Amino acid sequence: MFGILSLQGGFNLHHKALERFGMQSQLIKKPEELGQIQILIIPGGESTALLKLMKPLNWKEAIIAFAQQGKLILATCAGLIILSRPTPVARDYLGLIDIEVKRNAYGRQINSFVGLGTSLLGLSPLEMVCIRAPEVTSVGQDVEVLVSLAGRPMLLRQNNIVVATFHTELSPNHSFYHWLVFN
């Protein structure tokens, strides 16, 4: 069962997308609810706000423990940012995937776009909705780039961590969620 971190951001859109595709999900508001799920989605939103909301309930430690159990985590947009490597400027990032990112890399909200990415997933082509999207600026050697757009990594995986710079929940194509569950 999917669980969706429901503190801030597009959690309800993920819930509706999964429901539309016939997949069950649960909105997760407390770390102790992680024991009820097998896949955690950390949605897009505002990474700074999300990190502030996570702090009082020790979400950082709970998410790291969830990942260490080998359970799957999908993080989109702001979720990708908080799972990336900590930097001197952003020490609170969780470091669950060996990437560095640049926030809002494509500009303001008005610069949002939809792209079709080259996919290694057998999904052709993958529609990507980018809203104030981050850019992956550095990829560690153990990280696999699954989808790219104009040479930029857009969907990446390291072991049980899958991250997307785009909003998977906004695409009408449900094949990505199917791939996530069955691969």
Q: Which residues are designated catalytic? A: 77, 167, 169
How many Cβ atoms sit within 10 Å of the Cβ of residue 155? Answer: 28
**Phi-psi region for residue 165, left (φ > 0), alpha (ψ -120 to 50) or beta?**
alpha
Residue 141 class from Cβ within 10 Å (0-12 exposed, 13-18 middle, 19+ buried)?
Answer: exposed
Q: How far apart are the first and last CA of the chain?
A: 15
**Cα–Cα distance between 111 and 104 in angstroms, integer?**
10
Report d(CA 129, CA 109) in Å as an integer. 12
Rounded CA gap, 176 and 15, in Å? 15
| 84-110 b/e (C-beta count within 10 Å ≥ 16 → b) | bbeeeebeebbebbbbbbebebbeeee
